[in-house]
Amino acid sequence: MPHLEENLRYAVAREQRCLRLDEAGSLFPVLRHPSLEGCRLDDERRSGTRAAYRLVCANVETASGSAQLEAAGGRVAGTLEVKMGGKNMTFDQRIEAVRLRDCDAPRRR
């Protein structure tokens, strides 16, 4: 995206958290950005260790795109490709995750 400063184009963020396979949309932090409000990953298609999704937005003029995830050998890698609607701007976000341990069981109250 041309308006981003050069040092933001390749920003790296690191975090530790519990991930569940049914939460693909939470893997890509950019989906929490206000410009993508109302967008989610949908239409899951699985094949072996791979899953593919379509980016669906409540307002079809917001954006379009797709995501791919591959999980194997205790690792997850994925790419989200987005075309902003009505503009000639595209970007992608890549994620990598390494399995550290099982998620903690939910606490009972």
In a domain, 46, yes or no: yes
Give the dihedral sign, CA 30/31/33/35: positive
Is 89 part of a structural domain of the chain?
yes
Structural domain contains residue 48: yes
108 in any annotated domain: no
Q: What is the mean pLDDT of the chain?
A: 82
Name the pairing type of β-strands 39-47 and 50-57: antiparallel
* 109 part of a folded domain: no
**pTM of the entire predicted model:** 0.78
The number of distinct structural domains making up the chain is 1
Q: What is the pLDDT, as a whole number, of residue 10?
A: 61
Range of the domain at 51: 6-98
Q: Are 31 and 41 in contact (CB under 8 A)?
A: yes
- Does the pLDDT at position 104 exceed 80? no
